[in-house]
A = this chain, B = another copy of it.
Amino acid sequence: MTTTDAEFLSDFEIMSTHGATDGGGVDRQAGTAADHATRAWFGGWLREHGLRESIDEVGNQFGTREFAPGLPYVLVGSHLDSQPLAGRYDGAYGVLAGAHAAVRAIAAVDEGEIEPRFNVAVVNWFNEEGSRFTPSMMGSSVFTGKLDPATALATTDPAGVSVAEALADGHGAPTDAPALDDIARYAEIHIEQGRVLEETSVQIGLVDRTWAASKYRVTVHGEQSHTGSTRMADRQDALYGASLIIAAARDLTDEFAVGELHSSVSELYVLPNSPVTIAREVVMNLDLRSPSEGVLERAMEKLADRIRLVEGRSRTRVEAALTHRWGLVAYQPEGVRLARESAESLGLSHVDIMTVAGHDSTNLKDEVPTVMLFVPSVDGVSHNEAEFTRDDDAVRGVALLTDVVRRLLAGELADEAVARADTLVAAEA
């Protein structure tokens, strides 16, 4: 059994009906009914294509095929969950591309074209997005030992529902599933979520590094008072302080060359959030990201200075807790070289590229030799219903990933040392 490009595109259309939104995207946050519907559909797809479905304790969903009992796996996949009102491609494209690539590679093994050194498995990592349950990349973090499974399962969404409850209510009880020790290699393909490939008319990105990033949880402490009668000079307005920090974080990016620093604040909670009471507290996230560790370091220092100024101007007290920090971490050069050889063998144009966004491969590459690939995103739009990748780019990606999986099965990529990249600075609240 193998698959055609037309089947891939047809499967992608069918898959995208799960959690479909009026705006042409999907909304299937981790563990919701829409996510479970997609998982159930994907489980059926795996079984129909001769793979054994299994699910681990934190909801990672696998499809395995053993060529010989006991061999470790070449694992390929991404995630099916999405942001709220998101696009159809982010993660889901990579899972389905991985599944088709695995089935095609299995066909090549079955037909004797490849002598497999490993077994093969497809994966749908649970909760990569982290919009409903924090942190993001939860499933792959537990799988790689970076996050305690009990902590992950006890994590609750804003309505108080835990991961354990969200998983119990949905598709698939835990079964005998692969663990990290069973994995020899990892490959993932993803849409770029940026404009580099499109603007340079290149077909494939070979991901060689991640941007450095520092993520904060910022708490602004003010004092409740009446919005009308409190004199301006007496106010200790936490929302005013927060707004100055948001603006300062954005302005920081203008102090560096274009593209050297990205900053964002995107999640914010106000207490008491009343129309007639000045905020006593605001809690928000704040991220700084850079392709240069030196720039990131200077940006962090400048941010700290700005926060001190904001405290004075708004008469608030600000805590900026650094929750995650990682430097400029490389994917294994051997993996990039293998992907380059593969792209060239298929006649695809390619460029080495950094990823700004985190991916499940960010976790996997710390543990096993890993290949990470990008296909173009139209206008770089992502986390938006309008996210789009053209069909010809999508099927080219499947072809390349198939070739990469074949090469990995054949043992082309050597074992090598892997460096731990992602650093959790402090325990999340």
Copies in the complex: 2
A130 to B227, alpha carbons, bound, how many Å? 13
Please determine whether A258 and B233 come into contact, CB atoms closer than 8 angstroms: yes
Please determine whether B229 and A274 come into contact, CB atoms closer than 8 angstroms: no
Please determine whether B84 and A231 come into contact, CB atoms closer than 8 angstroms: no
Interface string of A348-363 (1 = CB under 8 A from B): 0000000111100000
Pick from B233, B246, B264, B274: contact of A84, CB below 8 A: B274
Please determine whether B275 and A383 come into contact, CB atoms closer than 8 angstroms: no
Closest chain B residue to A84, Cβ basis = B272
Please determine whether B228 and A272 come into contact, CB atoms closer than 8 angstroms: no
A358 to B131, alpha carbons, bound, how many Å? 39
Chain A, interface size category, equals 35 or more
Please determine whether A380 and B230 come into contact, CB atoms closer than 8 angstroms: yes
Please determine whether A225 and B85 come into contact, CB atoms closer than 8 angstroms: no
Given contacts A382-B225, A384-B225, whether A266 and B277 have CB atoms under 8 Å apart is yes
| A14 at interface by CB-CB < 8 Å | no
Pick from B134, B276, B289, B357: contact of A383, CB below 8 A: B276
In the complex, chain B residues whose CB is within 8 Å of the CB of A357: 226, 228-229, 276
Pick from B194, B262, B278, B383: contact of A266, CB below 8 A: B278
| A244 at interface by CB-CB < 8 Å | yes
| A81 at interface by CB-CB < 8 Å | no
Interface string of A99-133 (1 = CB under 8 A from B): 00000000000000000000000000000011100
Given contacts A237-B264, A240-B247, A242-B243, whether A224 and B383 have CB atoms under 8 Å apart is yes
Interface string of A131-157 (1 = CB under 8 A from B): 100101000000000000000000000
| A316 at interface by CB-CB < 8 Å | no
For the complex of A and B, list the 6 residue pairs with the smallest distance between their C-beta atoms, beginning with the closest: A243-B243, A243-B246, A131-B274, A227-B264, A84-B272, A229-B356
